[in-house]
């Protein structure tokens, strides 16, 4: 017998625990964070439970069914247009009044709704008692207590949802919000007109549609125009007439009056079902906020945290990085002695191992960075950073909420750009998207570590912290420039929830760290491997190069000159052999360098070198930066191939030191990497989220121009100052 299929949607306010419950139900590992706006698109999971095939949809968080931002539109459209079998409204039990606003609107859509009072343990510790039976009776919906992060109440919730979906009774019309007489009359008139003219052409509930027209909902108006063009104008004219009448009656916009009526309805429910303990409690979150969001010491603490994060990234990652480097060196040495000289050996050692191996050693650093970011997210500090940065963000015409996608850019620019969907204003969204690429993503970290460790030693952590800080500064400067020119407009008001601080679960932190690090592994076996092979091929051909020096003859001379000395009894053969190998290696490197210089890649590099010489970068660095458009990690693998870094440990570091690069030119290159054009995936995300090729190409041109100019100032200014 075929199993019955049901679709269950998870709706609720941002940060109410929807994605945690979704993960518990489906066993997936979607991103979960203790800050609003984590889910920016709907996620889907399929499970079999209690004899049913269930499709679980995790919708973006929304505070109401009157949407402003893209992810709120996604949530509402799914509920009112896709008509899932059941909508589970997940409500933060510790903030019941706020959660009931969306709940009352969901009841108006005539979909089958069940309430999940989540974070019941947190409500209990705050001395909050909720009478679930009374709440269920008053609103005529099933109510279940859950603790999402402990997987408590999830089975009961699913059973209640299935029971509700299978119930044949109509959704009860009673016990919904009833507005005052004038508003109800307007709703009734519009509802009758809708039923007469377009009820068969519109999938929406007619009363809910009438309420939305009273509230002047632009999306509903557009849907009516699209579905019933002939009759739409009569309905919209009547809606405008009713709005004018109500505005005249109440002296305020009708949407404000309906919101006020809903809150009045909710206040009555709260009195019946909600009780708080009279004992005085210490609000730990509020006390912590007195320090962390203080206008005087909040910023120093934030910068201290960020500085500590990069120090930890560099310091804690150093030991496993050395172990991986040694392992790669042993593999390379073993293959060098085992394989005969051939084109395949050259590809394997100087292409694949030198390229991919030079990047994979930075995996520990990236994992430490992601672990630290996960701590910020899970504790709730990320939302405080947004609040703290609000005044600074207003300098560029944005608000603190825009800083969350920017901070996410430290991990990867692509999800950061997608997270800009949480912004209500289109201009704010576009402006945030355009400045996110200045935030240094984790893919750039290996480049910084190579250059900083090579040229700045123990100060490497401070240098990397400064580079990230420069990215924040230039994003602010760019935002201000764009707000005054191409994206003019008034500042948006900033209202953002500050969730309570929570102790992060180690399991959750490790899952976040690993899930993000998996992207790095995927790149290893994909784009970085392909990029390394392409770079090797361009640097290895043509093979018939006419050298300016007889390298083979010089190597023979070295071997013959040491042979007689090694045979002598009065010398230390080990020292002589080591010295001989070093001399031969120097000649081999010189030969390799000339071969690369005269290869196809060398010709490309020489043709673009005039662009990079003024900023202190030679043709090899220029080619490496060029390949960075595909993925920033390829910059390191390209340098490993072009700078003739071979099988010994610290090869790339030694090659860079002997290449003529200076600390000043290394700093210039790091600055250029920070600011120049985004990678291919980020460019595609900009096009997808803005819907504009013009903005995509503008971002590429602007970022690269700024990068070159600032790198020029760093390099030439440093030379003038004698750095």
Rounded to whole angstroms, the Cα distance separating 494 from 386 reads 10
Average pLDDT over residues 224-235: 76
What's the angle, vertex CA 669, arms to CA 664 and CA 675, rounded to 5?
Answer: 130
Note whether 130 and 117 are within 8 A (CB). yes
Q: Which of these ranges, 612-616, 639-643, 663-667, has the smallest mean pLDDT?
A: 639-643
Over 60: is that where the pLDDT of 118 sits?
yes
What is residue 279's three-state secondary structure? coil
Per-residue pLDDT of 407-431, as tens digits, reads: 777 777 877 887 777 676 778 888 8
Closest to 676 in 3D by CA, of 620, 629, 606, 612: 629
Tokens 């590429």 correspond to 700
Q: State how beta strands 86-92 and 274-276 pair.
A: unpaired
Lookup: tokens for 302? 């934030």
Closest to 212 in 3D by CA, of 425, 65, 11, 98: 65
Q: Residue 537 — φ and ψ, nearest 5°?
A: -60, -45
Note whether 274 and 143 are within 8 A (CB). no
Cβ burial, residue 720 (10 Å; 0-12/13-18/19+): exposed
Average pLDDT over residues 502-528: 75
Residue ranges with strand state E in 151-238 = none
Rounded to whole angstroms, the Cα distance separating 68 from 600 reads 53
Check residue 127 and give left, alpha or beta (phi > 0: left; psi -120 to 50: alpha).
left
686 alpha-carbon distance from chain centroid: 13
What is residue 88's three-state secondary structure? strand
Rounded to whole angstroms, the Cα distance separating 405 from 439 reads 10
Which residues, 6+ apart, have CB-to-CB distance to 3 below 8 Å? 48, 51, 52, 53
Note whether 98 and 117 are within 8 A (CB). no
Closest to 202 in 3D by CA, of 224, 234, 218: 224
Rounded to whole angstroms, the Cα distance separating 194 from 188 reads 10
DSSP state of 80: I
Q: Which of these ranges, 171-180, 321-330, 625-634, 686-695, has the smallest mean pLDDT?
A: 171-180
Lookup: tokens for 691? 């819907």
The proportion of the chain whose per-residue pLDDT surpasses 70, expressed as a percent, equals 89
Average pLDDT of the chain? 80
**pLDDT at position 35, please?**
41
**pLDDT at position 61, please?**
82
The proportion of the chain whose per-residue pLDDT surpasses 90, expressed as a percent, equals 6
pLDDT bucket at 280, cuts 50 / 70 / 90: very low
For residue 102, CA distances in Å to 171, 190, 362, 419, 530 come to 17, 23, 45, 22, 49
Note whether 98 and 89 are within 8 A (CB). no
Kind and range of the H or E element at 377?
A: helix 363-379
Lookup: tokens for 83? 């008509």
**pLDDT at position 614, please?**
92
Per-residue pLDDT of 324-342, as tens digits, reads: 878 887 887 788 778 887 8
* C-alpha dihedral (269, 272, 278, 283), degrees to nearest 10: -20
Residue-by-residue DSSP string for 540-588: H--S----SS-HHHHHHHHHHHHHHHHH-TTS-HHHHHHHHHHHHHHHH
Strand partners, 115: 89, 143
Average pLDDT over residues 203-215: 82
**pLDDT at position 713, please?**
93
Closest to 538 in 3D by CA, of 591, 602, 628: 602
Establish whether the linkage from the previous residue to 265 is cis, with ω within 30° of 0.
Answer: no
**pLDDT at position 34, please?**
45
Q: Is the pTM of this model over 0.75?
A: no
Residue ranges with strand state E in 60-162 = 86-92, 113-118, 128-130, 143-145
Cβ burial, residue 604 (10 Å; 0-12/13-18/19+): middle
Q: State how beta strands 128-130 and 113-118 pair.
A: unpaired
Note whether 463 and 452 are within 8 A (CB). yes
Q: How many C-beta atoms surround the C-beta of residue 698 within 10 A?
A: 15
């Amino acid at each position: 017998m075929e199993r019955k299929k049901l679709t269950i949607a998870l709706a609720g306010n941002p940060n109410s625990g929807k994605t945690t419950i979704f993960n518990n139900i489906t066993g997936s590992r979607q991103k979960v964070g203790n800050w609003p706006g984590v889910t920016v698109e709907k996620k889907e999971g399929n499970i079999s439970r209690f004899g049913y095939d269930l499709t679980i949809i995790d919708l973006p968080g929304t505070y109401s069914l009157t949407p402003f931002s893209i992810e709120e539109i996604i949530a509402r459209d799914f509920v009112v247009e896709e008509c899932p079998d059941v909508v589970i409204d997940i409500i933060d039990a510790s903030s019941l009044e706020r959660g009931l606003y969306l709940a009352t609107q969901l009841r108006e859509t005539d979909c089958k709704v069940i309430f999940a009072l989540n974070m019941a343990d947190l409500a209990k510790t705050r001395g909050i008692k909720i009478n679930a039976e009374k709440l269920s009776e008053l609103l005529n919906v099933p109510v279940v207590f859950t603790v999402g992060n402990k997987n408590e109440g999830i089975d009961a919730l699913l059973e209640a949802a299935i029971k509700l979906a299978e119930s044949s009774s109509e959704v009860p019309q009673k016990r919904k919000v009833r507005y005052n007489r004038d508003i109800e009359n307007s709703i009734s008139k519009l509802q009758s007109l809708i039923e007469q003219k377009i009820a068969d052409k519109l999938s929406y509930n007619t009363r809910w549609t009438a309420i939305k027209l009273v509230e002047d909902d632009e999306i509903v108006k557009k849907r009516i125009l699209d579905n019933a063009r002939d009759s739409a104008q009569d309905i919209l004219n009547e809606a405008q007439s009713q709005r004018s009448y109500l505005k005249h009656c109440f002296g305020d916009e009708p949407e404000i009056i309906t919101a006020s009526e809903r809150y009045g309805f909710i206040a009555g429910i709260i009195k019946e079902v909600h009780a708080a303990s009279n004992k005085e409690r210490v609000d730990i979150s509020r006390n912590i906020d007195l320090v962390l969001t203080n206008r005087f010491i909040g910023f120093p603490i934030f910068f201290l945290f960020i500085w500590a994060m990069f120090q930890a990234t560099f310091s804690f990652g150093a030991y496993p990085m050395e172990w991986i480097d040694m392992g790669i060196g042993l593999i390379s040495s073993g293959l060098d002695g085992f394989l005969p000289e051939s084109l395949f050996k050259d590809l394997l050692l100087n292409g694949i191992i030198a390229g991919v191996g030079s990047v994979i050693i930075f995996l520990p650093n990236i994992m430490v960075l992601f672990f630290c970011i996960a701590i910020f997210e899970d504790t709730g500090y990320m939302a405080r950073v947004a609040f703290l940065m609000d005044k600074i963000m207003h300098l560029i015409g944005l608000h603190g909420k825009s800083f969350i996608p920017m901070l996410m850019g430290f991990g990867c620019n692509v999800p950061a750009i997608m997270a800009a969907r949480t912004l209500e204003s289109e201009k704010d969204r576009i402006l945030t998207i355009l400045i996110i690429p200045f935030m240094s993503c984790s893919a750039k970290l290996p480049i910084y570590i190579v250059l900083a460790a090579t040229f700045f030693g123990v100060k490497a952590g401070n240098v990397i912290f400064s580079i990230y800080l420069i990215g924040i500064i230039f994003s602010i400067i760019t935002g201000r420039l764009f707000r005054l020119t191409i994206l003019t407009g008034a500042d948006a008001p900033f209202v953002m929830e500050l969730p309570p601080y929570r102790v992060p679960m180690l399991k959750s932190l490790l899952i976040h760290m690993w899930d993000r690090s998996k992207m790095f592994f995927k790149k290893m076996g994909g784009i970085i491997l392909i990029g390394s092979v392409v770079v090797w091929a361009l640097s290895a051909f043509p093979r018939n190069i006419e050298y300016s020096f007889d390298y083979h003859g010089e190597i023979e001379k070295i071997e013959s000159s040491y042979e007689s000395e090694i045979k002598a009894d009065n010398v230390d053969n080990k020292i002589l052999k080591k010295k001989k190998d070093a001399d031969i290696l120097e000649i081999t490197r010189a030969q390799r360098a000339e071969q690369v210089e005269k290869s196809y890649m060398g010709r490309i590099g020489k043709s673009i070198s005039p662009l990079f010489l003024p900023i202190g970068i030679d043709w090899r660095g220029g080619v490496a930066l060029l390949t960075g458009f595909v993925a920033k990690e390829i910059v390191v693998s390209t340098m490993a191939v072009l700078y003739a870094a071979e099988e010994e440990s610290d090869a790339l570091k030694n090659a860079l030191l002997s290449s003529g690069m200076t600390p000043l030119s290394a700093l210039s290159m790091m600055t250029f990497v920070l600011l120049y054009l985004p990678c291919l995936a980020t460019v595609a995300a900009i096009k997808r989220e803005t819907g504009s090729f013009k903005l995509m190409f503008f971002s590429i041109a602007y970022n690269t121009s700024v990068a070159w100019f600032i790198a020029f100032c760093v390099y030439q200014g440093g030379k003038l100052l004698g750095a």
